Amino acid sequence: MTQALATQPQTPVDSEKRTVVSWPVYQDPWPVIAAWAQKHKFNPREPQTGNTKLFQKGSGFWTAAMRTQFTLDGSTMHMQAWLPIGIFARIGALFMLPAEMHIRSGGFRAALPRKIARNAVNELLQQVGAAPIP
């Protein structure tokens, strides 16, 4: 699905699955994003095209993996952040967890990994002058 998002124009994203934040870009955003990703141990994943970059923290074994995808569209950066939840974790939770989950606060499902991801992403949003994720 992420490769489909990388090759198509910006499509609406289900807010129950992914948290989306956009902000204006005035200079090359990739060095700031790369430094943030390295600091918070978000490793590059495919796709890594010119205008779309995907990063993932963790493997999903002990806690849910955390993903962020950045897409530069002209002078606007669109960021999607979510937890991809594996089938074994979903089985262990009796399918109370969806396959993808946003990182906003509220609710009890995957609360700790969402908080970890939200705190990391909010640090980047503060650096770029965007509103934090509540």
Is residue 39 in a domain?
Answer: yes
The pLDDT of residue 14 is: 82
CATH no. for residue 54?
A: 3.30.160
Q: Structural domain of residue 31, as residue ranges?
A: 15-128
Q: What is the pTM of this model?
A: 0.85
- Number of compact structural domains in the chain: 1
In this predicted structure, what is the pLDDT of residue 11? 63
Cα torsion 27, 28, 34, 39 to 10°: value is: -20
Is 58 domain-assigned? yes
Whether 62 shows a pLDDT value over 80: the answer reads no
Task: Let me know if 130 is exposed, middle or buried by CB neighbors in 10 A (0-12, 13-18, 19+).
Answer: middle
CB atoms closer than 10 angstroms to residue 120: 21
3-state SS, residue 131? coil
Tokens of residue 72, six digits? 């530069």
